[in-house]
Chains A and B, each alone.
Chain A
Amino acid sequence: MQIYLPIAEVSVNAFLLLGLGGIVGILSGMFGVGGGFLMTPLLFFIGIPPAVAVATEANQIVASSFSGVLAHFKRKTVDLRMGLVLLVGGLIGAALGVQLFNTLKAMGQVDLLVKLSYVLFLGIIGGLMFLESLNAIMKTRGGKVVTTRRKHYWVHNLPFKMKFRTSGLYISVIPPILVGVLVGILAAIMGVGGGFIMVPAMIYLLGMPTKVVVGTSLFQIIFVTAFTTLLHATTNYTVDMALAVLLLIGGVVGAQIGARIGVKLKAEQLRILLAIMVLAVCGKLALDLLIQPSELFEIGAGGGH
């Protein structure tokens, strides 16, 4: 069934959109990532204009994260206090990110920098996670029980300490705010929720228990992407309501399935799967930059470069 999207101004198959939403939703529920880093390139691929894809994806992430976070609230795996601290940083970051985005757009280099940041961030994070979870799996296979002893990170020596009871942490608010700012900037520039960078940062940098990481990151993502959606809607008019609704109907059902699969899998298995996926997307984007494209020219909206 073909459907005409009012803002994107293209006609696409409604079931294709539902299916895409569903697959990305399953991943979103399993890993606590918004799925934007997969969905945004997929939308480009089916012919949605990039500006519309980025803005609408932000709107869709709000909704898919909302149903995901409800599931996590029920299981009490959301650190609200940590979420709020991350959110403060996220809003500052999103505002900065939109400024940066507009500057790059005026220079005509926004595509390149978006792709380069994808390759850089996905490559580093995917690689680190892959090695770390591989190590953990090897140790478990060797018969040893992995003890999760809390390490004393350097970030724990900074001032403005705060107690995060759900995570069992007593750390400075500076690192979570900085993580939030970085995620906010990436959310605005790359059209993603930022879960793929926030989840590892929470585990490896803040030392939060894996159990609460997913729910807390979803909580922060909801508000940062909602803010990004409003910024895009009021400045670029690129949020497509119809596209968002179709993607999220598939997405929320997928997220529910994903959350159930996620509970059954071990943390190491979950992380190695996410790592493989992150590396795959990274590799595809790197190849796009390295291999000579079949069409050297592209058409953009007029009005300066």
Chain B
Amino acid sequence: MRILIACLSALILGVTAAHAKEEVVAGLSQNMVSINATFVGSEILIFGAVKRETPAPADEPLEVVVVVEGPNVPVTVRKKDKRFGIWVNTDALDIASAPSFYAVSASSTLDGSINILDDLRHLVSVNRAITISDNIFTNIDPTEFTEALIRIRENNGTYRLLENNVTVRQDTLFDTRIALPSNLTEGEYRTRILLTRAGYVAASYETVINVQKVGLERWIYNLAHNQPLIYGLLSLFIAIAAGWGASSIFRFILRG
């Protein structure tokens, strides 16, 4: 038994040692995404190079996987069913944590870039990023609910799988573009770059993109959350003033 463990650890160490020779050096076109009044989404360019001291292994092709993950929040997924002739919400599943945005960009197919073991270990595929709480008291099948969550978010562009989207040049340089949609939530977007050889993660790099509202957008948002009563009164005042102003101008135009 002890010999077996020793062999295994030697193997693991050996594998890690062989792969530790490569390192990712990466950069982003922007570390901060500012949401202002005319924000229509943004495109992030993620680029980098592989730093290595020994020649690259020729037999194992280099693949790059880039994961951008928005802030995790709890959601409730509800299912409709026909009751008394109309479609109503019947079952619901609470999901403890699901990323508000999730994009995986790979240099080939996702399956071809990373094997199932390292996908699980590094939580790469979107279904690994979703955590279901223990719905102990329900007898519903969570799979169709998480599948629905992913399907809906893929359709509205917040979850993306971008295969063959990372360009790798001469086994050293790589770059990818990931479009951020306009319906972004504020927060820190964890960005990971995984370098794989024969499906195993050889090196990784992690950074953060800050998504923040700025200017008037930030001021309105903060006021609404910190001083809700003042904000509410101000909304009414602005609405009435603008309404009255617009109608006066309109009457003036009609008369003149």
Taking beta carbons and an 8 Å cutoff, which residues of A are in contact with B? 1-4, 6-7, 9-11, 47, 59-60, 62-64, 66-67, 70-71, 108-109, 111-112, 226, 229-230, 232-235, 237, 239, 241-242, 244-245, 248-249, 251-253, 255-256, 289-293, 295-305
- When distances are taken between beta carbons in the complex, the residues of chain A under 8 Å from B231 are 233, 239, 241
Interface residues of B in 183-242 (CB under 8 A from A): 183-185, 213, 216-218, 220-221, 224-225, 228-229, 231-236, 238-240, 242
A220, chain B: closest CB distance, angstroms: 16
- When distances are taken between beta carbons in the complex, the residues of chain A under 8 Å from B78 are 108, 297-298, 300, 305
Interface residues of B in 52-73 (CB under 8 A from A): 73
Q: A7-B221, A59-B239, A302-B73 are in contact. Are A2 and B182 (CB under 8 A)?
A: yes
Q: How far is the CA of A7 from the CA of B220 in the complex (A)?
A: 8
CB pair B152 A297 closer than 8 Å: yes
Taking beta carbons and an 8 Å cutoff, which residues of B are in contact with A? 35-41, 73-82, 85-89, 92, 94-96, 144-145, 148-149, 151-153, 182-185, 213, 216-218, 220-221, 224-225, 228-229, 231-236, 238-240, 242-244, 246-247, 250-251, 254
Closest 5 CB pairs of A and B: A302-B74, A233-B232, A11-B182, A63-B243, A297-B148
- When distances are taken between beta carbons in the complex, the residues of chain A under 8 Å from B79 are 296-297
CB pair B225 A234 closer than 8 Å: no
* Cβ contacts A to B, 13 pairs, < 8 Å: A2-B40, A70-B244, A230-B229, A230-B233, A233-B235, A239-B231, A244-B239, A256-B250, A290-B86, A295-B148, A296-B79, A297-B151, A305-B94
- Contact with B229, one of A233, A253, A301 (Cβ below 8 angstroms): A233
CB pair A248 B232 closer than 8 Å: no
Closest to B40 in A: A2
- When distances are taken between beta carbons in the complex, the residues of chain A under 8 Å from B41 are 11
- Contact with A11, one of B39, B76, B85, B234 (Cβ below 8 angstroms): B39
Q: How far is the CA of A47 from the CA of B155 in the complex (A)?
A: 13
- When distances are taken between beta carbons in the complex, the residues of chain A under 8 Å from B216 are 6
Q: How far is the CA of A199 from the CA of B1 in the complex (A)?
A: 86
- When distances are taken between beta carbons in the complex, the residues of chain B under 8 Å from A291 are 87
A233, chain B: closest CB distance, angstroms: 3
- Contact with B232, one of A230, A242, A298 (Cβ below 8 angstroms): A230
Q: How far is the CA of A4 from the CA of B183 in the complex (A)?
A: 9
CB pair A255 B247 closer than 8 Å: yes
CB pair A256 B247 closer than 8 Å: yes
Q: How far is the CA of A60 from the CA of B242 in the complex (A)?
A: 10
B157, chain A: closest CB distance, angstroms: 11
Q: How far is the CA of A255 from the CA of B183 in the complex (A)?
A: 31
Q: How far is the CA of A232 from the CA of B96 in the complex (A)?
A: 26
- When distances are taken between beta carbons in the complex, the residues of chain A under 8 Å from B85 are 290
Closest to B254 in A: A256
Closest to A246 in B: B242
CB pair B95 A302 closer than 8 Å: yes
Closest to B83 in A: A112
Q: How far is the CA of A159 from the CA of B67 in the complex (A)?
A: 72
- When distances are taken between beta carbons in the complex, the residues of chain A under 8 Å from B240 are 62-63, 66
- When distances are taken between beta carbons in the complex, the residues of chain B under 8 Å from A10 are 182-183
- When distances are taken between beta carbons in the complex, the residues of chain A under 8 Å from B228 are 233-235, 237
Q: How far is the CA of A256 from the CA of B248 in the complex (A)?
A: 10
Q: A237-B225, A245-B242, A299-B152 are in contact. Are A108 and B89 (CB under 8 A)?
A: yes
- When distances are taken between beta carbons in the complex, the residues of chain B under 8 Å from A253 are 246-247, 250
B163, chain A: closest CB distance, angstroms: 25
Q: How far is the CA of A237 from the CA of B149 in the complex (A)?
A: 25
Q: How far is the CA of A241 from the CA of B233 in the complex (A)?
A: 11
Q: How far is the CA of A302 from the CA of B220 in the complex (A)?
A: 24
- When distances are taken between beta carbons in the complex, the residues of chain B under 8 Å from A4 are 35-40, 182, 217
- When distances are taken between beta carbons in the complex, the residues of chain B under 8 Å from A239 are 224, 231-232, 235
- When distances are taken between beta carbons in the complex, the residues of chain A under 8 Å from B88 are 109, 112
Q: How far is the CA of A249 from the CA of B82 in the complex (A)?
A: 42
- When distances are taken between beta carbons in the complex, the residues of chain A under 8 Å from B152 are 295, 297-299
Q: A4-B35, A256-B251, A299-B149 are in contact. Are A234 and B242 (CB under 8 A)?
A: no
- When distances are taken between beta carbons in the complex, the residues of chain A under 8 Å from B185 are 9
- When distances are taken between beta carbons in the complex, the residues of chain B under 8 Å from A67 are 243-244, 246-247
